[in-house]
Structure 1
């Protein structure tokens, strides 16, 4: 669950493991923004997949669009805001629960704190492996780009032709 993500992301490795037919994958020309500071990342492709939450007696199925990425990740997929909107789901990060309305009541998806901790440790180990790899120099070049100093020093000032408008006359 990633409430800050504007995308649903699935890794190419996950699609391979699922045996998804490549003819279902569609080309895309829309880049990601905000994943790497000041850079855009192009996904490999997009795919529409049915996603099911619930059990045999109370479930929901919706088709979600996923951006397919060739990066290595510690998860199988990342569900972002588009997923929550489509399912009208409410995530609670404190209790590690995702709730949505099903045909026979509330569907609750949850995990245990131990599993969440193990995932966090795995993510940290993955990040440490990247830091130790030869890709670190490339990542540092991207991150260490310094913004224009004029932009940083600028204070908030209206443009020359700005017109003053009273909000509450």
Structure 2
């Protein structure tokens, strides 16, 4: 469960274990960020799969779109906000539960704290390998070199001693202006 993620992610190994051929992936060239430090990641493709939550007496089925990635995995998939929106599900990270309304009442999906801990340890192992890699050091150097000068960024406010006149309403033809500056008198 990842309520901060705007994607549903499925790892290539999971696709292989499910017997899904890579030819079933829809090509996608839209990158996403936050997986590889300082770099964008391009998915292998997208796939639409029917997902079922619940049991035989009370279940829901919806089709979700997953971005398939070829990264080392700890999980089978990562369910993000698109999943929660489609199922109108509510995640509770403290209790490791996911709840949604089914045709015969509330469906509750959960896991054990022991399994969550095992996944966390495995993720830390992957992170340690990445942090220790020479590639990450190279990425850090490239990011620092390519980083824009924060003081010169075009979207930031720069104060000047001289007052500036700005239209109160640019769409209004009267042309009323206000003076803005750091060294104006109280008048």
TM-score category, normalised to shorter length: 0.7 to 0.9
Which has the greater radius of gyration? 2
Output the aligned Cα RMSD. Answer: 2.6
Q: Quick check: 1:151 aligned with 2:153?
A: yes
Q: Is the 8 A contact 1:36 1:143 kept in 2?
A: no
Which residue in the other structure is 2:129 paired with? 129
Quote the Cα distance in structure 1 between the aligned partners of 2:57 and 2:32: 38
Structure-1-length-normalised TM-score: 0.84
Equivalent residue of 1:135, what SS?
Answer: helix
Q: For structure 1, which runs of at least 5 residues remain unmatched after alignment?
A: none
* 1:125-160 residue CA offsets vs partner (Å, 9 max, x unmatched): 111122233432344235545332323994477x97
- TM-score (normalizing by structure 2): 0.76
Q: Which protein, 1 or 2, shows the higher relative CO under an 8 Å CA cutoff with sep ≥ 6?
A: 1
Contact 2:37 2:139 in 1 (8 A): no
Kept after mapping to 2: 8 A contact 1:59/1:107: yes
The answer for the alignment partner of 1:100 in structure 2 is 100
8 Å Cα contact 2:88-2:101 kept in structure 1: yes
CA contact (8 A) 1:91 1:98 kept: yes
